[in-house]
Amino acid sequence: MSTAVYPGSFDPITNGHLDLIRRTAAIFDKVVIGILINQSKKPLFSLEERTEMIRKVTEDLPNIEVYPFSGLVVEFAKEHNVNVLIRGIRSTTDFEYELQMAQINHKIDDKIDTLFFATDPGYSFISSSAVKELWYYHQDVGEYVPDYVVQKLQEKEM
């Protein structure tokens, strides 16, 4: 069985993330989505809310599993017996950063490889940070995130 890990903070999950998940799910038998618990960031959504959102917007994909993790993604991948990490590339800046991370991860464990997906051009400018910023200033973000995420944003006091 082929399995890949797609790690991220997903705060919140965007249509760009969802596009990558769908494309990955079409290639791999199983996709493990790892929600990073980053102690240095103050997320808008709790870990439980992010997990719920991802599960809800991927409920039509039977080969998706969602788990939280902290620490190194390589260790998370090994815990799930996975040797492929998925990363999306929106720009050359992303590529430089992601290439460095892929090389570090491979150095830590040479059985772990990173597969880069070029982001669909329609999503290349979307980020969770941009969505939160737009939402903070009362802009419509329905084009950038699934409807369920819009609903969850509306429930938040900003």
Active site residue 41: yes
How far is 70 from 90, CA to CA, in rounded Å? Answer: 24
Q: Within the chain, how many helices (H) and strands (E) appear?
A: 6, 5
Set 9, 17, 50, 132: catalytic member: 17
Contact 123, 15 (CB under 8 A): yes
Set 9, 50, 87, 90: catalytic member: 90
Active site residue 30: no
Set 50, 87, 128, 152: catalytic member: 128
Active site residue 17: yes
Strand-pairing partners, residue 33, are 6, 66
Catalytic residue positions, numbered: 17, 41, 90, 128
